[in-house]
Structure 1
Amino acid sequence: MTSKHPDRDVGTPGGRTTPRAPEDTQPQDTIRDIARASADDLLRPDEADRFAETFSRQFVNRMMSGEAGFGLATIEMIERHHAGPIPPAETLAGYEDVVPGAAKRVFDMAERDQEAFIESQRAQQISDNRFRLTSYIGGFIALVLILATGSILAFHGHEASSLAAFGMGAVSIIGVFVNAWKQKK
């Protein structure tokens, strides 16, 4: 199927023509092609051509004249990401405009949040240190008990039992100290 218009492709659903956009096309030509494609189903071919020609000429003239309320619009999308308790300055200023004193409240909230985080970290460190100290003390007491048990068994002539107590105790204590050392790193 060939088109009456060499600058158009034919074969879209419903027999509509779609504008082709060569690189050297002027804006008025593109506008004319779009207007023609829009009018194809509504007007006879000769009326659609006249409509497209008139529309594109008037559109470009109005746009170039700077007529109020007429021209091209540019849409710009800005995407911003934020992390943290204090919003960006523009957002904070907007809060302040809506609720006077909001900026101070946001800063106070952020300071309280930071203080709570620091206190939580400090409490966790103290807890970890207490656990380690308790583990070391428990390990030392176990070592003393194992040595005492092995010594008593050896003194009463139970050398095999004494060696078993010393061996199990030594392995257990070494395991405790190795685990504590790994956790420190």
Structure 2
Amino acid sequence: MSPDLYEEAAIAFSHYSGPIPHPAILGLYEEVLPGSAERILAMTEKQQDFRHSQEKMVLTAEVNDLKADREEARRGQNYALAIALVVVTCGTITAALGHGWAATGIMGTGTAPVVASFINGRRRSGYRNSADNQNPSEE
């Protein structure tokens, strides 16, 4: 075959990613419709402002949820302390009246659920001691 029959072909690929079109494409928009580049930029800025406000709302809600969780945990601890104090007081009075086994039963059955709830509450909340946080690969 003669060399005149061969054609050369080249394929070029270009990729651009961003909130606004590539500057060359933006220029083409402006040529077709004057003022469109400014409108595209304004639309992008408006979308960015909206997104920032949404992210701020989400972060604010998460912070408020964490504060509420902390307050709820603190309230639960206060109630547990009050219950424990009442149980220990009742057990002490019962023991002082000479009912040792009854006092042991009152104190044991009254304080065991409080201790168990503290242990289970820490497990559910994902509590870990500092040694686990420093070396997570050892698990």
TM above 0.5, yes or no, is yes
SS in structure 2 opposite 1:95?
A: helix
**What does residue 39 of structure 2 align with?**
105
State whether structure 2 residue 111 is matched by structure 1 residue 163.
yes
Could you tell me how far apart the structure 1 residues matched to 2:54 and 2:115 are? Answer: 42
**What does residue 31 of structure 1 align with?**
2
Could you tell me how far apart the structure 1 residues matched to 2:46 and 2:7 are? Answer: 46
Deviation at 1:153, TM superposition (A): 1.7
State whether structure 2 residue 65 is matched by structure 1 residue 131.
yes
Gaps of 5+ in 1: 1-29, 33-58, 60-71
SS in structure 2 opposite 1:100?
A: coil
Deviation at 1:112, TM superposition (A): 1.0
State whether structure 2 residue 77 is matched by structure 1 residue 143.
yes
Gaps of 5+ in 2: 92-105, 134-139
Residue pairs, 1:1-185, within 5 angstroms: 30-31=1-2, 75-157=9-91, 158-175=106-123, 176=125, 178=127
SS in structure 2 opposite 1:86?
A: coil
Deviation at 1:160, TM superposition (A): 0.8
Could you tell me how far apart the structure 2 residues matched to 1:75 and 1:177 are? Answer: 61
Residue 144 of structure 1 aligns with an amino acid whose one-letter code is N
**Gap change, CA 1:172 and 1:144, over 3 Å in 2:** farther
**Quick check: 165-174 or 88-97, which moved more?**
165-174
**Gap change, CA 1:89 and 1:124, over 3 Å in 2:** same
1:153–1:162: 8 Å Cα contact kept in structure 2? yes
Higher helix share: 2
Residue 159 of structure 1 aligns with an amino acid whose one-letter code is M
TM-score of the aligned structures, taking structure 1 as reference length: 0.54
SS in structure 1 opposite 2:59?
A: helix
Could you tell me how far apart the structure 2 residues matched to 1:76 and 1:112 are? Answer: 40
Report the structure number with the largest CA radius of gyration: 1
1:92–1:103: 8 Å Cα contact kept in structure 2? yes
1:149–1:165: 8 Å Cα contact kept in structure 2? no
**Gap change, CA 1:160 and 1:152, over 3 Å in 2:** same
**Superposition CA RMSD, Å:** 2.6
Q: Which has the higher contact order (CA 8 A, sep 6+)?
A: 2
